[in-house]
Chain A
Amino acid sequence: MERFKFILFRPLQLLPVLFGVSVISFVMVRSIPGDPVRLLLGTRATPEVAAKIRAQYGLDEPLMTQYFLFLKNLFQGDFGRSIVYKTSTFNVVAERIGPTVFLLTYVLVMAILITLILSTWAARRQGRLPDVIVRSYSMVGLGLPTFWLGIILIMQFSIALNWFPTSGYGESVAENLYYLFLPAVSITLALSPVLIRNLRASLISEMESDYATAARSRGMSENGIYFSHVLPNSLVPAITLLGINFAWLIGGTVVVEQVFSVPGIGQLMISSIFARDYLVVQLITLVVAIAVIAVNFIVDVLTAVIDPRVHL
């Protein structure tokens, strides 16, 4: 159990990062162009009312005090009010987070499957046609813009063939899977090249390693070597890379939600920016940052579970 100790200590190491995240969030709100009180009250408010509100929100305090007030509000779950939706920003974001989480999970499953299949196909036929195809895809795919890919998929599969809806989210889980299929495919096609390049390379180097040769000389079948030794040994770097790319993945989701009008937090963020609803933008940034930190923590735990040599 020695190696699981870090599951307890690792969150402590995250404290400075969380502190930094909160500072950046605070700075973001403070850098909002224009006077927040004017934004709240409109231009017709008298100076007395404005001063009262300013005192009420602690805006007349020194910056340090304001930061601690901001922290206090965060811990109390008070994230401010949305000027567009006229309700707490927390509710606004909570309502829209479902489709985004669904889409992210969908993409993760799809990307992992495709990466495993294509990397295996390429690595076990190294230098032959399948390998050439997969390598070309992983080369061209690095530069695929997700939003363009999404539109091309809509043209082909929604408009020309009429197989999939052009936009929306659907009601039931089955409908969600159906509505989000094209969005998930467009992100997957842009994400998987990085993963495939990495997994293919480590598969090949593991296949040529001494222990694989030893297993071959003992008469073990290629399939046996592949599934019980080569693949498990190649998974750790692939999982680490997937963790690193999670942040990229969220960026991809924002763009693709816009293309397919998926009612998730990505679309909410973009519309809030144009509506100058800064507190919503700030909360989404905060939520996403915490999600990324959490995912990277999970990745650390996973790699330690898979590979006993990993100590953190």
Chain B
Amino acid sequence: MRAARLLLSVGFLKNNNLTLVLGIFLSVCWVVIAIFAPWIAPYDPIAQDVARTLQPPSFAHPFGTDNFGRDVLSRVIWGSRVDLAMGLGGVFAPIIIGCTIGLLAGYFGGIIDTLLMRFLDITISFPFFILMIAIISILGPGLMSFFIALALVGWVSYARLVRSRTLVLRHSDFVAAGQILGFSSIRIMFRHVLPNAALPVLVFIMSDVVLTILLGSSLSYLGLGVQPPLAEWGIMIAEGQNFISTAWWITLFPGLAIVILALSFSLIADGLAAQYKVSE
């Protein structure tokens, strides 16, 4: 509460933006859980214990144990590391590539714009998920393939967003001033145009993190993402699916973790959009 009041006092939150506060609070909680997983988790996430397989939730194991006797709570806690890394790391390359392409297309216009936008049309007409699966099938499953595939297909939304902002901004006075002062195009684009387009991009990043987390866990569920025995929520759900009639807890808790983590970033996206009147 004190942190929230502090934020309010510096004018960060103009109209008691509860959505934003809640979103930031939940996200910070997840980051803390992920960083301190080794100290928070009560058990080793991959240590098998044949004497304690498929135990329902109890005081010793609040989320129960799985078919190898591994503690589900500990696996959910450790899994937050992988899923957060997928969500936050996955958007990194798309942001850089997408913003650069969007800036180039919007700022220079003409033939560069036409070529880049045709390229974008082609990429966008491939269904995102199918294209990712196809790329990963060639590269082989794993976290690195996931990041590479995302870099290849994830940039389109950023490029579109930044391009449309740049088209407006390039006719503004500060761009003209920069040109008269003899600034290089690169300097004007990255130091002056991009910061002015940052807010809608930031809002989009937050919703993109949500999509990326869902994408990553879906791929891991299908066996194309992170590989076992690493604790990851999608893998845990896939493993739990074999025991749905006897041990619901293996499947339920990792899924709830995905929902809550995704919700935290959705709340930030909504809160930011409301705070700064950014239309999605």
Contacts and interface: CB of A to CB of B under 8 A. Distances in A.
Interface string B127-151: 1111101100110100000000000
A16 B244 contact: no
B252 A143 contact: no
A50 interface: no
Interface in B229-273: 234, 237, 240-241, 244-245, 248, 251-252, 254-255, 258-263, 265-267, 270
A133 interface: no
Interface in A106-150: 139-140, 142-149
B210 A151 contact: no
B105 to A, nearest CB: 16
Contacts of B121: 16-17, 20
A145 B259 contact: yes
Contact of B237 (A139, A147, A251): A147
A296 B125 contact: yes
B125 A143 contact: no
B63 to A, nearest CB: 15
A152 B255 contact: yes
A37 interface: no
Given A20-B122, A152-B251, A145 B258 contact: yes
A252 B128 CA distance: 11
A28 B136 CA distance: 11
A31 B221 contact: no
B116 interface: no
B7 to A, nearest CB: 21
B97 to A, nearest CB: 17
Interface string B83-110: 0000000000000000000000000000
Contact of B134 (A145, A146, A259, A282): A282
A49 interface: no
Contact of A258 (B119, B214, B222): B222
A269 B240 CA distance: 23
Contacts of B240: 151
Interface residues of B, number: 47
Interface in B71-85: none
A269 B224 CA distance: 12
B210 to A, nearest CB: 5
Contacts of A24: 122, 126
A146 B258 CA distance: 11
Given A16-B121, A147-B221, A289 B126 contact: yes
Contacts, number: 143
Contact of B130 (A140, A148, A254): A254
A278 interface: yes
B251 A148 contact: yes
Given A31-B138, A147-B237, A285 B210 contact: no
A273 B259 contact: no
A244 to B, nearest CB: 9
Contact of A248 (B128, B134, B241): B128
**A145, A151, A273, A292, most chain B CB atoms within 10 A:** A145
A24 B119 CA distance: 11
B214 A292 contact: no
A286 to B, nearest CB: 9
A159 B138 CA distance: 37
B263 A284 contact: no
A142 B221 contact: no
B4 to A, nearest CB: 20
A66 B83 CA distance: 41
Given A16-B118, A17-B122, A143-B263, A159 B244 contact: yes
A282 B135 CA distance: 10
B218 interface: yes
Given A16-B121, A145-B217, A292-B125, A251 B130 contact: yes
Contacts of A278: 137-138
A143 B258 contact: yes
B57 interface: no
A247 B263 contact: no
Contacts of B119: 20
Contacts of B258: 143, 145, 148
A274 B223 contact: yes
A232 to B, nearest CB: 22
Interface string A286-312: 001100110010000000000000000
A199 interface: no
A285 B126 contact: yes
A281 interface: yes
A51 interface: no
Contacts of A59: none
Among all A-B residue pairs, the 4 with the closest Cβ atoms: A143-B262, A251-B129, A20-B122, A148-B255
Interface of A: 16-17, 20-21, 24, 28, 31-33, 139-140, 142-149, 151-152, 154-155, 159, 247-248, 250-252, 254-255, 258-259, 269-270, 273-274, 278, 281-282, 284-285, 288-289, 292-293, 296
16 contacts: A17-B125, A20-B119, A20-B122, A21-B126, A139-B267, A140-B259, A140-B263, A143-B258, A143-B265, A154-B244, A250-B127, A259-B241, A270-B133, A278-B137, A281-B133, A281-B137
Interface of B: 118-119, 121-122, 125-131, 133-134, 137-138, 140, 207, 210, 213-214, 217-218, 221-224, 234, 237, 240-241, 244-245, 248, 251-252, 254-255, 258-263, 265-267, 270
